[in-house]
Amino acid sequence: MWNKKANRAEEGYGNYNNVGGTRDNSGFTLWEVLLALVLAGIMLSLALRLMTEQWRISRELKAQLEVQYAVLVAGQEVSKAIRSADTVEWAAPAVLRVLPWPDSETPTVDSYYVADKDRDGVSDLYREHLKVPNPMASYITVFNCTEVEPGLWQVSIKARIGTQEATWEGKVRQHTHSVSVMANDMSTGILLCWSWFYL
């Protein structure tokens, strides 16, 4: 039998060398295969952890941008409504009622409030015009308006997505009151000019 194996090795079959019939060491041992598998597993777990961390950071960044955009849009829309309003009223429960300048024969009151009308678990800021609610911004958690002085409104809006939160605050003056303030300032300035002229 040994001669048969030696003959096969001489003819190039099998992995026995010609000297003494010993096994050739050109293959991998079990330990080398196991070590390669362990190293590959470590590298794969590190790559997976890096990808998971990048995915988490991108989700947080997306949430932060969405929440900032939501309060910015809500703040701009509410400010524009107050600025161009004839009358503004903050009514319970947390509803801003705005009567715009009459551009038609029958002006209608617009209402701004936070609700979850589509029942998706996300609170939206709505503008209700002619009894039709239209969502303007999502993820709004706090909406508050306070009249600081006649015609000057303090608006506070907060939005939240997960751990990300953003706030928008500003003071907005109604157009009707800004015109009267300007008229008062102009009349005061004219009186001062006349008094200086006669001195």
Q: What 8-state DSSP symbol labels residue 93?
A: T
Please write the tens of the pLDDT for every residue from 35-60: 999 999 999 999 999 999 999 999 99
Measured between alpha carbons, how far is 77 from 100 in angstroms, rounded to an integer?
13
* Three-class secondary structure of residue 100 per DSSP: strand
Please write the tens of the pLDDT for every residue from 116-154: 999 999 999 999 998 999 999 999 999 999 999 999 999
Read off the pTM: 0.64
31 domain residue, yes or no: no
Measured between alpha carbons, how far is 16 from 37 in angstroms, rounded to an integer?
28
Domain total in the chain: 1
Listed in order, strand segments (DSSP E) in the chain are 85-91, 95-100, 110-115, 124-129, 132-138, 140-149, 152-161, 164-173
- Containing domain of residue 174, as a range? 58-181
Sheet of strand 85-91, all strands in order from the earlier edge strand to the far edge: 85-91, 95-100, 110-115, 124-129, 132-138
104 domain residue, yes or no: yes
